[in-house]
Amino acid sequence: MNAMDNGPNSPKLETGAHPFAGTPCDRLRAVRARIARAAAEAGRDAATVRLLAVSKTFAAAAVRAMAACGQHEFGENYLQEALEKQIALSDLPLQWHFIGPIQSNKTRAIAGNFSWVHGVDRLKIADRLSAQRPAGWPPLQVCIEVNVSGETSKGGMTVAELPALAEAVSKLPGLRLRGLMAIPAPATGMAAQRAAFRRVREAYDALIACGHALDTLSMGMSADLEAAVLEGATIVRIGTALFGER
């Protein structure tokens, strides 16, 4: 039994990936229903949770099909692949988020082709994105990536390093700091998933308490979006549940 089978008054949301089936529009509806159910359990308005469809490794045609179902925000990890899809889909009113690791030789193309960047994890990258944002464009919307799992192999700032980076990023003219992004280590069970997301939210709340005007917590993927929404996610980044296994 998965969360979709629970009665409307089910006290607990189950966690874990859900069966992949149906048309693109069916899958989009199913993900939106998961978000709505988790938001309801959290006592939140579902409209406060944005769905970012993560289309990495899937062809432009798959993005086009999802766009025809009403999804307009897409996340991509690989620059070259993303640029090719953007060209193929330039007739559609899509908003593109870069969510992958950022190499410094890619910042100019990222600053010139995306609305959002989720994985800012060092000042050098932020400086370059700001300086290379084309003149006259609105600032690039950015999240700082925080690592709450202590995996040194993974990107992201430690919580201790965050205040200094947030302070510096918030002063860059080409960027607008919107909040934090996290990819916690995979955890089994709602309690463990929520504990990691809670650490992200606490770091976010601490930055707000320091005076940063933040509104974005980018956290939660196909396997753990419920836990993320319960801990305050405002953007969930969903690939597999929308497009299938990669």
Ligand X SMILES: *Cc1c(COP(=O)(O)O)cnc(C)c1O
Nearest residue by C-beta to ligand X? 239
* Contact pattern from residue 168 through residue 187 relative to ligand X, giving x for each residue in contact according to CB under 6 A and a dash for the rest: ---------------x----
Residues 108, 222: Cα–Cα separation, whole Å: 30
DSSP state of 4: G
Residues 15, 225: Cα–Cα separation, whole Å: 8
Residues 188, 95: Cα–Cα separation, whole Å: 32
Nearest to 149 by CA among 196, 89, 205, 79: 196
* Contact pattern from residue 14 through residue 53 relative to ligand X, giving x for each residue in contact according to CB under 6 A and a dash for the rest: ----------------------------------------
207 binds ligand X (CB under 6 A): no
For 106-125, give one letter per residue: b (16+ CB within 10 A) or e. Answer: bbeebbebbebbbbbbbeeb
DSSP state of 191: H
* Contact pattern from residue 98 through residue 127 relative to ligand X, giving x for each residue in contact according to CB under 6 A and a dash for the rest: -x----------------------------
Query: Cβ 136 to ligand X, closest distance in Å?
Result: 29
Residues 144, 154: Cα–Cα separation, whole Å: 14
Query: Cβ 137 to ligand X, closest distance in Å?
Result: 24
Per rule CB under 6 A, count of chain residues that contact ligand X: 13
Question: Which region, judged by CB under 6 A, interacts with ligand X, from 26-34, 40-48, 185-193, 232-240?
Answer: 232-240
Residue with Cβ nearer ligand X (36 or 131): 36
Q: Residue from 6, 113, 115, 240 that binds ligand X (CB under 6 A)? A: 240
222 binds ligand X (CB under 6 A): yes
Residues 4, 7: Cα–Cα separation, whole Å: 8
77 binds ligand X (CB under 6 A): yes
Taking each helix axis from N to C terminus, what angle separates 60-68 and 79-88, rounded to the nearest 10 degrees?
A: 60
142 binds ligand X (CB under 6 A): no
Nearest to 133 by CA among 120, 121, 146: 120
Residues 119, 160: Cα–Cα separation, whole Å: 17
Question: Which region, judged by CB under 6 A, interacts with ligand X, from 38-46, 60-68, 124-132, 235-243?
Answer: 235-243
Q: Residue from 129, 148, 221, 235 that binds ligand X (CB under 6 A)? A: 221
Q: Name the token pair of 184.
A: 């916690």
Would strands 73-76 and 95-98 be described as parallel, antiparallel, or unpaired? parallel
Question: Which region, judged by CB under 6 A, interacts with ligand X, from 5-13, 167-175, 190-198, 221-229?
Answer: 221-229
237 binds ligand X (CB under 6 A): yes
Instruction: Report the interface residues with ligand X, using CB under 6 A.
Output: 54, 56, 77, 99, 183, 221-223, 237-241
